[in-house]
């Protein structure tokens, strides 16, 4: 392993209080392995940003020691009480345990929109019948003759009862959860106790895909210890499977970071138990990600020049690649891998765009060369955007669309794999998603510069921060459903604003009167009264302003989700530096979990940090 840490970092091992020579790679390795989160790394004044990268680490080793308790398994099914019935064709029917369990999955979801969808119903019924006994199968032939309402009611009631539990009972449940967290929620990694991200297996239930998923409603089977692969160190205490059970396999693979895995039966994909983002392993990876993005900053101009050049290439392949890269760069589109048809919802990213997803307008609303995008991206979130593009891009798009059907691929000579190979040639470690990280982070930095007012109070600065954050979220198309309470809380705010305006009007009147009074009487008392009224007026005006900005903020944030960009795309050091520079407490920007996740950045960044 080679770490290029430059001469700008001091490392301080806090435990012992010793200072380490940063040039010693042995100590660096020790440092990296054992005390990452206890180390403060600071930059010397006047240098241009800290940086360290590693070459492919020696044979991909991720840890030396790993010990844990294995996953916590979802609780077993509890049969329904005798008085809760399932009816088929109007007649009460006692179901076998397995059949009943699956019936409860459906019953629980009855008031969800999902259950009205035909695909969901068919998939569910199909899978349900597979688990029925021969007798049940003979009777239960149509879903529309099944009556789950009693089952549904039972669970609704149960939920209510749980909510209405006395305080002590709730406390007990909480303590039980904490006990579980203590017992299963941590592992020992290279001598340090680290929090695990997800230590429970996923409970059985009905699969709910996003968007128009062809597999919605299918039965997600219960995970048994016999399905689970355990990964730990050879010399650690190997986790005990639950009594009477065996693990599928125990392996000792220190080139991967997961603690346990199993194969899920819907998509046949592997699920993992991994560490919490606060862990050293994840933190370092995160740091590395932003360092790659910062390296892109150094070469992005060259790359932009290059793809503009490639727009004129004789090779169609190259042209497609160059136009796609332009979109990825300019619009922060995702790469867009190929997907197996019929297995997942029909969504696309850049490379998998189809002709039907864009419309070309030579002129629109007084602008030239407009591309209108309309497609479903990740999680079936709609991407809709009208963008003016440079003329060669427009011409190329016309060319790519010639003689194609709406369902044909726009970039038929391009795959994510060839694109990424190309990017790798342009810069070590460069892939399509790095552009998203880079553009998100650089946008935040720029917007913060533009929007922050040093004279503002903390609240106003935070508003500016949120605005900058929002600019990024919009760039990355991070959307959310309008909160259910949105209209109402907006109304409440409006009521407050109206009331404030009323107060303000009254205060103005009073000031006027006081002034008039002071003019006539000229007494000290009446003068001080004027001052008092003036002060009140100013206070009210400020309060009104604050309410109005709050309302704007809320309105603008209606359908924008800030969380994803904050957690995954914005180099936290930008935010930390901003906080330090403008005297905003970090806690106002990052909550406890976020501060844990970004501990590395909090240690590292000073106000001079530049992305």
Subset of 345-374 contacting DNA (CB under 7 A): 345, 347, 349
Name the minimum Å distance from CB 92 to DNA. Answer: 28
Q: What is the largest CA-CA distance in the chain?
A: 101
Name the minimum Å distance from CB 547 to DNA. Answer: 10
> Three-state SS across 54-112?
ECCCHHHCCCCCEECCCCECCCCCCCCCCCCCEEECCEEECCCHHHHHHHHHHHHCCCC
Measured CA to CA, the distance from residue 105 to residue 76 in angstroms comes to: 14
Asked if 272 interacts with DNA (CB under 7 A), we say yes
Measured CA to CA, the distance from residue 199 to residue 73 in angstroms comes to: 9
- The interface with DNA within residues 21-80 (CB under 7 A) comprises 62
Measured CA to CA, the distance from residue 440 to residue 115 in angstroms comes to: 38
How many residues contact DNA, by CB under 7 A? 82
Asked if 523 interacts with DNA (CB under 7 A), we say no
In terms of CB distance, is 27 or 316 closer to DNA? 316
In terms of CB distance, is 31 or 207 closer to DNA? 207
Q: For residue 341, how many other CB atoms are within 10 A of its CB? A: 8
The interface region with DNA, picked from 237-245, 404-412, 535-543, 558-566 by CB under 7 A, is 558-566
- The interface with DNA within residues 464-503 (CB under 7 A) comprises 476-481, 485, 488-489, 492-493
The interface region with DNA, picked from 91-99, 262-270, 310-318, 508-516 by CB under 7 A, is 262-270
Q: What amino acid positions are annotated as catalytic residues?
A: 569
In terms of CB distance, is 86 or 569 closer to DNA? 569
Name the minimum Å distance from CB 420 to DNA. Answer: 4
Q: Which of 54, 67, 150, 202 binds DNA (CB under 7 A)?
A: 202
Contacts of 481 (CB under 8 A, 6+ apart): 559
> Three-state SS across 302-347?
HHHHHHHHHCCCCCHHHHHHHHHHHHHHHHCCCCCCCCCCCCCCCC
Q: For residue 357, how many other CB atoms are within 10 A of its CB? A: 16
Name the minimum Å distance from CB 521 to DNA. Answer: 37
Asked if 191 interacts with DNA (CB under 7 A), we say no
In terms of CB distance, is 22 or 416 closer to DNA? 416
- The interface with DNA within residues 131-190 (CB under 7 A) comprises 174, 181
Name the minimum Å distance from CB 515 to DNA. Answer: 32
Name the minimum Å distance from CB 603 to DNA. Answer: 19
- The interface with DNA within residues 431-460 (CB under 7 A) comprises 431-434, 436-437
CB 66 within 8 A of CB 188: yes
- The interface with DNA within residues 319-338 (CB under 7 A) comprises 334-338
- The interface with DNA within residues 410-429 (CB under 7 A) comprises 415-417, 420, 424
In terms of CB distance, is 240 or 338 closer to DNA? 338
Q: At how many degrees (to 10) do helices 458-475 and 432-451 cross?
A: 150
Asked if 210 interacts with DNA (CB under 7 A), we say yes
| Residue 191, token pair as written in the block | 């001598």
In terms of CB distance, is 335 or 371 closer to DNA? 335
Give the up-direction half-sphere exposure of residue 326: CA atoms within 13 A in the CB hemisphere. 25
DSSP, res 366: T
Name the minimum Å distance from CB 485 to DNA. Answer: 5
């Amino acid at each position: 392993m080679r770490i290029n840490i430059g001469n700008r970092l001091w490392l301080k091992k806090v435990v012992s209080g010793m200072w380490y020579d940063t040039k010693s790679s042995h100590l660096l390795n020790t440092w990296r392995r054992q005390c990452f989160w206890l180390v403060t790394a600071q930059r010397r004044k006047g240098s241009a940003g800290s940086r360290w990268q590693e070459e492919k680490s020696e044979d991909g080793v991720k840890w030396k020691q790993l010990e844990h308790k294995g996953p916590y398994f979802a609780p077993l099914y509890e049969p329904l009480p005798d008085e809760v019935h399932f009816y088929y064709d109007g007649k009460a029917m006692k179901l076998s345990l397995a059949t009943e369990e699956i019936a409860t999955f459906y019953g629980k979801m009855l008031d969800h929109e999902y259950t009205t969808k035909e695909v969901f119903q068919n998939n569910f019924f199909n899978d349900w019948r597979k688990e029925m006994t021969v007798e049940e199968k003979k009777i239960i032939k149509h879903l529309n003759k099944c009556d789950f309402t009693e089952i549904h009611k039972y669970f609704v009631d149960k939920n209510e009862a749980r909510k209405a539990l006395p305080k002590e009972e709730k406390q007990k449940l909480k303590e039980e959860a904490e006990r579980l967290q203590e017992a299963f929620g941590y592992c020992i990694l290279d001598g340090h106790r680290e929090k695990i991200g997800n230590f429970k297996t996923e409970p059985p239930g009905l699969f709910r895909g996003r968007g128009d998923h062809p597999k919605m409603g299918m039965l997600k089977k219960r995970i048994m210890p016999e399905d689970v692969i355990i990964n730990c160190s050879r010399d650690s205490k190997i986790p005990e499977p639950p009594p009477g059970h065996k693990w599928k396999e125990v392996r000792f693979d220190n080139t991967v970071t997961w603690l346990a895995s199993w194969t899920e039966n819907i998509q046949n994909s592997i699920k993992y138990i991994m560490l919490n983002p606060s862990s050293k392993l994840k933190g370092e990876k995160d740091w590395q990600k932003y360092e790659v993005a910062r390296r892109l900053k150094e070469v992005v101009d060259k790359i932009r020049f290059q793809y503009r050049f490639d727009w004129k290439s004789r090779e169609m392949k190259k042209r497609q690649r160059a136009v796609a890269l332009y979109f990825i760069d300019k619009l922060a589109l995702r790469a867009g891998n190929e997907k197996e048809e019929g297995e997942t919802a029909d969504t696309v990213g850049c490379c998998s765009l189809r002709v039907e997803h864009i419309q070309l307008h030579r002129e629109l609303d007084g602008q030239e060369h407009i591309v209108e995008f309309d497609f479903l991206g990740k999680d079936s979130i709609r991407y809709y955007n009208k963008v003016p593009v440079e003329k060669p891009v427009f011409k190329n798009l016309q060319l790519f669309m010639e003689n194609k059907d709406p369902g044909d691929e726009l970039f038929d000579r391009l795959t994510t794999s060839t694109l990424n190979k190309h990017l790798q040639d342009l810069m070590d470690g460069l892939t399509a998603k790095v552009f998203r990280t880079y553009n998100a982070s650089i946008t935040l930095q720029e917007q913060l510069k533009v929007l922050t007012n040093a004279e503002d109070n903390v609240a106003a600065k935070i508003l500016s921060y949120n605005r900058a954050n929002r600019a990024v979220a919009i760039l990355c198309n991070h959307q959310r459903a309008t909160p259910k309470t949105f209209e109402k809380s907006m109304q409440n705010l409006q009521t407050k604003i109206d009331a404030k305006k009323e107060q303000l009007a009254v205060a103005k009147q009073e000031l006027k009167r006081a002034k008039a009074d002071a003019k006539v009487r000229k007494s000290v008392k009446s003068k001080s009264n004027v001052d008092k009224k003036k002060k009140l007026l100013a206070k009210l005006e400020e309060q009104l302003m604050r309410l109005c900005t709050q309302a704007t903020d809320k309105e603008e944030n209606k359908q924008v989700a800030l969380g994803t960009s904050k957690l995954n795309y914005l180099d936290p050091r930008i935010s930390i530096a901003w906080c330090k520079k403008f005297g905003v407490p970090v806690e106002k920007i990052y909550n406890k979990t976020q501060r844990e996740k970004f501990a590395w950045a909090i240690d590292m960044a000073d106000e001079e940090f530049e992305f």
